[in-house]
Amino acid sequence: MVQSHLTDSVPETDHGSATGLSSFTKDWSSDQQAFKQVPWGKAMMWVFLLSDTFIFGVFLVSYMTVRNSTKVPWPNTSQVFSLNVNGEPFPLLLIAIMTFILISSSGTMAIAVKYGYAKDRRTTTFLILLTALFGASFVGMQVFEWTKLIHEGVRPWGNPFGAHQFGSTFFMITGFHGFHVSIGVLFLLIVARKVWRGDFDNERRGFFTSRKGNYEIVEIMGLYWHFVDLVWVFIFAFFYLW
């Protein structure tokens, strides 16, 4: 009887371990447990934002390393980024305005998500367009900032204000962030058009489709936009205030 009992228990143990492994694989591959009640679009956006966090993190760490290791004095950012108004220099005035606009756009985007889930198409469209306008204004000011510095002699390979690495790190970091904002503005306009036409209510086929009556795409765009705003806070603190 002991031998029979041992023989019977072996298959049960093997079967249990196989079931556990197959169950784990099934849960993760079929979106039954790992992302329960979470749309794939939102989950993939989080994965993208995580990878982008590493990229911006590497950029900022490299910037700090370069700045601390160079023997040439680093330019005075208050002087470099000052804006003349009626002949009087105002340090970081343009940067402060840019930061205020971008932070404000994060607020309008958050409200747009709220009205999106309330299925208020008119208000949602207006708020998304307002967010896109803020983003476009930010990019326009960044272009003005770049033009001003290039006119003053700042280049990726050198600048007249101090350490040559200043130009390369400035154009790389702010340019990469500005590219993210520009892409975000483009997608905001696309989503605003779809909301206004009622694509999410009618489940019209095309890009950025979702389940009928579901405005989750607006929230996904909100995640991206909040990330872009948060990254700018770090760039503002490390690059302009330090």
pLDDT in tens, 102-132: 999 999 999 999 999 898 999 999 999 999 9
pLDDT of residue 63: 94
Same domain, 70 and 111: yes
Same domain, 24 and 98: no
Q: CB 210: neighbour CB atoms within 10 A?
A: 17
Same domain, 213 and 236: yes
Paired tokens of 101: 């606009």
What pTM does this model have?
0.81
Same domain, 64 and 132: yes
Same domain, 10 and 118: no
Identity at 147, one-letter amino acid code: T
Beta strand ranges found along the chain (DSSP E): 83-85, 88-90
Same domain, 11 and 47: no
Mean pLDDT in the chain?
84
User: Per the structure, how many domains does the chain have?
Assistant: 2
Same domain, 159 and 48: yes
Same domain, 94 and 162: yes
Domain with residue 44: its CATH number is 1.20.120.80
Largest CA distance in the chain: 101
pLDDT of residue 208: 59
Same domain, 51 and 129: yes
Answer left, alpha or beta for residue 75, where phi above 0 means left and psi between -120 and 50 means alpha: beta
Residue 83 pairs with which residues in a beta bridge? 90
Q: Show the low-confidence residues of the chain (pLDDT under 70).
A: 1-20, 23-38, 203-213
Same domain, 232 and 167: yes
Same domain, 210 and 126: yes
- The domain in which residue 62 lies consists of 38-241
pLDDT of residue 9: 45
Same domain, 211 and 153: yes
Residues 154 and 236: their CA atoms lie apart, in Å, by 19
Residues 150 and 102: their CA atoms lie apart, in Å, by 24
